[in-house]
Structure 1
Amino acid sequence: MSYQLTITPVRPADVPSEETIISLAKEVLESSKSWKKGKAFAKGGVQTYSRAKGPGDGAPWHCRVSKHTKDDATFDEFWSKLAVNKAENEKEFIAAIKKVAEVKRISPTQSIWTLYYTFPPPVSPRVFTVLQTTYLDESVPRTGIIASIPIDLSGPGDEELAKLEEKGTKGRYVSVERLVELEDGSVEWRMATSSTPGGSIPTFVAEGSMPGQISADVPHFLKWFHTIRTKAEAT
């Protein structure tokens, strides 16, 4: 059975090759250019798109696209925060993420992380465990890809890894991001994701909030990045 990017989790022993994951990520990112246009968000300059659930998909897909000048962040600055220690950085600008832990480092460009989210009552905490794979193409235009696929640590042989997961309802997400350095030095940031929060949250509620949720990550990232950039300039 061939692998496809979906919210169906894989066990660590069954992880596809980095080449396979990046190739599939590129396919999704290219296809997102023809998805249904959705809401635009002025904050962060974000345009959203979506694709209905297709064959093999566990959930519909959502996409956001934004373009950024060097004043926002350069290509190298985006890459250093979105591709290196990604989960630890996300904890700094996504308020719901309270804890992260590296479960297993597979290679310099691939590792398993677990992320613990908390939400206002009555929603219980959620645990998302993902394999993150990064790929940097230095040819012009420079392009960086970050792919996250859901991982299942409940199987035999993974007991020690599972101990690193916090207690909470298991959610699942798959996401692919692409940074492209444009001719004028600005950066296009494209992200596509498919997810399920798990538990008893109705699908229509989870899906209806997705465009706003994924769009908010852009201004949240920029606000956080500018605080650390300012600190670095001051030293």
Structure 2
Amino acid sequence: MPLIQLQPHPFTSIPAHPSFPTDLSRPELHQFIHTALHEALELLHSIPSTFVADPKLRSSPPSQAKVKLLRGWRNPSEPSTKPTNPKDKTKSEFWACRQTEHVDASAEGTASWREFEDGLKSEHAEHEMEYTRSVSAVERLLEWAPQDVGEVEVDGIRFRDVNMEVNLITHTFQPSALIAPRSFISLTISAAHDDLPPQPPQTQGEHPPPRKGFLIVQIPLHQTSSSTPQALQQKISSSVPKRTIFANYVSVEHVTLLPPSSYSSSSSAQAQDFSGKPKSRVEWTMATTADPGGSIPKWVQRNFTLGGMPRAVVADVGFFIGWTMRRRGST
């Protein structure tokens, strides 16, 4: 069974942890992370050929970058490169993807590479709570020591600074009397790389350097008494608010630093340094699917105009850039 799928995994399917009873059937930590990163890269590579882009770019203020929104149906049990028939939804998942390019600068409407690293790769869930209004609580359930993971090589790419943790993330909404809270149990893997193969040169003789970046993979887990250690089950039960509905969320994010080029998606002065040369850019891709549970119709969840998942992923760009600007101003 693939790791990157909307159907949540039981706690018995994840690697051993000091707080778990001994179970030799659990997957080995290094191999588990290798599989997750491989599936994430496979999904990202498939997006251009299997997702359909909206005809127009979207705005997400205060970000100056325009958002390219893509949508697609995906069957996690089939190869990512194989397009899924939208009419066959029995085993398919609806995914939304957004892509943006940001000028690499600590300036109005954008963020520097270091700010992306610090805001997204480090303490991902905790930072999301700071810039996403609905996230009301983040509880760290499990964490694996980075030294136990080390470096992981996947598809010719060497990943370092690999971290894995499990968080209980709760969203609350207004009016709270009408909308029940949602809680997500998310296994998150973050990993940096320095050697992503460069894109093909735009002109003959150009040899752009390898691109550095980082990946963030979030995989849903579910808590059932039969598969969850008792102490962990009690911690989850005591942390969620009354009436909470357990929901599922899966995502893949890839942030890369692009070298300066004559092309820039921004025409502002921020896109150039003091000598007029183009600045480097930060490319941010995020693909996700979710099941909020409850009685929200699936077609509403897929609808941009009605505030479904496509609108939410676009809005997240502005939330993050706005939070980064406020954070920058407070230091």
Whether TM-score is above 0.5 comes out as yes
Candidates 168, 174, 179, aligned match of 1:123 = 179
Match of 1:103, SS state, is: strand
Other-structure match for 1:27: 42
Cα 1:170/1:211, change in 2 over 3 Å: same
Distance in 2 between residues matched to 1:101 and 1:120, nearest whole Å: 21
Asked if 2 retains the 8 angstrom alpha-carbon contact of 1:153 and 1:159, the reply is no
Candidates 291, 301, 312, aligned match of 1:196 = 291
What pairs up with 1:118-157 in 2 under 5 angstroms? 118-121=172-175, 122-139=178-195, 140-156=210-226, 157=228
Q: More helix by proportion, 1 or 2?
A: 1
- In the TM superposition, what is the alpha-carbon distance from 1:58 to its structure 2 partner? 5.6
Asked if 2 retains the 8 angstrom alpha-carbon contact of 1:104 and 1:161, the reply is no
Other-structure match for 1:219: 318
Distance in 1 between residues matched to 2:74 and 2:185, nearest whole Å: 22
Asked if 2 retains the 8 angstrom alpha-carbon contact of 1:6 and 1:58, the reply is no
Other-structure match for 1:37: 53
TM-score (norm 2): 0.66
What letter matches 1:113 in structure 2? N
Greater mean deviation of Cα atoms: 36-45 or 89-98:
36-45
- In the TM superposition, what is the alpha-carbon distance from 1:81 to its structure 2 partner? 1.3
Which stretches of structure 1, 4 residues or more, deviate above 6 A after TM superposition?
Answer: none
Other-structure match for 2:137: 99
Deviations for 1:120-171, whole angstroms, at most 9, x for unmatched residues? 2422110011000011102320021000000112243423223234141011
Other-structure match for 2:249: 173
Distance in 1 between residues matched to 2:96 and 2:284, nearest whole Å: 14
Candidates 64, 75, 83, aligned match of 1:54 = 75
TM-score (norm 1): 0.92
Match of 1:151, SS state, is: strand
Distance in 2 between residues matched to 1:155 and 1:60, nearest whole Å: 29
RCO comparison, higher one (Cα < 8 Å, 6+) = 1
Identify unmatched segments of 5+ residues in structure 1.
none
- Pick the structure with greater CA Rg: 2
Distance in 2 between residues matched to 1:158 and 1:7, nearest whole Å: 22
Candidates 259, 265, 274, aligned match of 1:183 = 259
What letter matches 1:210 in structure 2? M
Distance in 2 between residues matched to 1:153 and 1:106, nearest whole Å: 19
Deviations for 1:53-97, whole angstroms, at most 9, x for unmatched residues? 436456211100011112322222212211111111000110000
Other-structure match for 1:5: 4
Match of 1:147, SS state, is: strand
- In the TM superposition, what is the alpha-carbon distance from 1:204 to its structure 2 partner? 0.7
- In the TM superposition, what is the alpha-carbon distance from 1:177 to its structure 2 partner? 0.1
Compute the RMSD of aligned alpha carbons: 1.7
Cα 1:148/1:116, change in 2 over 3 Å: same
Distance in 2 between residues matched to 1:151 and 1:106, nearest whole Å: 16
- In the TM superposition, what is the alpha-carbon distance from 1:230 to its structure 2 partner? 1.9
What letter matches 2:37 in structure 1? I
Other-structure match for 1:68: 102
**1:90 equivalenced with 2:90 (yes/no):** no
Cα 1:155/1:83, change in 2 over 3 Å: farther
Distance in 2 between residues matched to 1:195 and 1:120, nearest whole Å: 20
Distance in 2 between residues matched to 1:73 and 1:154, nearest whole Å: 41
Asked if 1 retains the 8 angstrom alpha-carbon contact of 2:73 and 2:92, the reply is no
Distance in 2 between residues matched to 1:53 and 1:171, nearest whole Å: 19
Identify unmatched segments of 5+ residues in structure 2.
15-26, 78-90, 147-162, 196-209, 261-279
Deviations for 1:6-53, whole angstroms, at most 9, x for unmatched residues? 111112331261111011011111111221012521224111101124
Distance in 2 between residues matched to 1:144 and 1:76, nearest whole Å: 12
Distance in 2 between residues matched to 1:199 and 1:58, nearest whole Å: 19
